[in-house]
Each structure stands twice: as structure tokens, then as C-alpha cells.
DNA sequence: GCCAACGTTGGC
DNA sequence: GCCAACGTTGGC
């Protein structure tokens, strides 16, 4: 059994909010058109955990999703892009705002801060644990 | 293979 | 709605 990896995925809540994911039960995470984000999608394995970040509005991590299906050809493109399926796992008791993330010591190397325009970033196990604590949430 | 132009993302 | 950052594209 491969070790679970952790990721952070971004979505504008006006486009697809976490509540929508909970409503739908699962969704295809498609439309990614950035090579680095694509590589991250391809590194995902079923069962990996994703922090779900609301960009633009909210600007906070609001929950955890689980990779329900590893990377496959993105059906919304004829070209070589990938998508995964994700399912909701647990909403955070308290959203973890961007301000709080920035203020947090130990998050200096957080990829989503360093590469703020990348929509799919890697999160270390330690960072993930910290996020859960900040969100007052246990899985 | 360089670099300017362009498009997209995301914070403010 | 604006603008900065930055990845991508295309001309040379």
C-alpha cells in the first residue's frame, strides 16, 4: 500500500464550491491547462487527500477531498491533459483563511504560497496535519 | 533558443 | 475591475 500523499486544489467557489462537491458526491477535476499542475494530477493516486481551497471569494481552505480515481485523459480536451475524480471527505469545522496560512510559522515553504498561481500543489504530511489542526478538524 | 506579446490566475 | 505575476506561445 503506497503512502497517502497530500495536495491542495483550488477552485473558485462561484464556479465549483466545496458544498457543491458534497452535493454531487464526486466530481471530475478537469480543465487544468498548466503543465506543472498536470504533472501533479498525474502523480495523484486513489486515496490521496486534497485540501480544498476557495480562491477569489473566501480565500480559505474549507475542507478535505479524497482522490476517487487516479489521473486519466481529460475528456474536455483533445490534447494531452489529465484529470482526476475527487469526492468530499470532510468539511473543515473552521475555514483556514489565506491570512492565517500566511501568518503561520512553518508554512514558509508551503508550495501554494510560493507558487500562488498554481492550481494543484503538493502539501507535505506535516503541513497537512497542521491544516487539520487549524481547521479544528479530525479525519 | 531567445524574448516579447499575450492570456490567465488570483489577490486586492 | 484592476493589476501584478508568471506560464505559454510564436516570431525571429
Using CA atoms of A6, A71, A113, A93 in order, give the dihedral in degrees to the nearest 10.
Answer: -50
Q: What is the pLDDT of residue A79?
A: 86
Q: What is the pLDDT of residue A11?
A: 95
Q: What is the pLDDT of residue A40?
A: 94
Contacts of A56 (CB under 8 A, 6+ apart): A12, A13, A14
User: Domain of A35?
Assistant: 6-134
Give the separation between CA A67 and CA A50, rounded to whole angstroms. 7
Let me know if residue A33 belongs to a domain. Answer: yes
Q: What is the pLDDT of residue A1?
A: 63
Q: Which nucleotide is closest, CA of A31 to its C1'?
A: B8
Q: For A45-101, what is each residue's pLDDT tens digit?
A: 999 999 999 999 999 999 999 999 999 999 988 888 999 999 999 999 999 999 999
* Total tally of structural domains belonging to chain A: 1
Contacts of A5 (CB under 8 A, 6+ apart): A43, A44, A45, A48, A49, A122
Per the CB < 8 A criterion, the answer to whether A6 and A125 are in contact is yes
Cell numbers for A3: 503512502
pTM, two decimal places:
0.94
Let me know if residue A115 belongs to a domain. Answer: yes
Give me the residues near strand B, CB below 7 A. Answer: A 10, 12, 33, 55-56, 59, 98, 116-119
Query: How many Cα atoms within 13 Å fall on the side-chain side of residue A58?
Result: 21
Let me know if residue A62 belongs to a domain. Answer: yes
Give the separation between CA A67 and CA A86, rounded to whole angstroms. 5
Let me know if residue A72 belongs to a domain. Answer: yes
Buried b (16+ CB within 10 A) or exposed e, A114-129: eeeebbbbbbeeebbe
Q: For A11-31, what is each residue's pLDDT tens digit?
A: 999 999 999 999 999 999 999
Run of H or E residues at A93: strand A82-97
Let me know if residue A35 belongs to a domain. Answer: yes
Give me the residues near strand C, CB below 7 A. Answer: A 34-36, 115, 117-118
Let me know if residue A1 belongs to a domain. Answer: no
Let me know if residue A98 belongs to a domain. Answer: yes
CATH number of the domain residue A47 falls in: 3.10.590.10
Let me know if residue A74 belongs to a domain. Answer: yes
Amino acid at each position: 500500500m503506497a503512502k497517502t500523499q497530500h495536495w491542495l486544489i483550488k477552485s473558485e467557489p462561484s464556479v465549483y464550491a466545496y458544498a457543491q462537491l458534497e452535493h454531487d458526491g464526486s466530481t471530475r477535476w478537469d480543465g487544468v491547462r498548466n503543465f506543472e499542475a498536470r504533472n501533479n494530477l498525474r502523480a495523484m493516486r486513489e486515496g490521496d487527500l486534497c485540501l480544498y481551497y476557495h480562491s477569489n471569494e473566501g480565500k480559505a481552505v474549507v475542507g478535505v477531498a479524497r482522490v476517487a480515481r487516479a489521473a486519466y485523459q481529460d475528456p474536455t480536451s483533445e490534447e494531452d491533459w489529465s484529470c482526476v475524480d475527487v469526492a468530499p471527505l470532510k468539511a473543515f469545522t473552521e475555514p483556514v483563511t489565506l491570512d492565517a496560512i500566511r501568518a503561520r510559522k512553518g508554512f514558509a515553504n508551503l508550495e501554494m504560497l510560493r507558487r500562488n498561481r498554481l492550481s494543484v500543489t503538493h502539501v507535505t504530511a506535516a503541513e497537512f496535519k497542521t491544516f487539520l489542526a487549524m481547521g479544528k478538524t479530525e479525519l
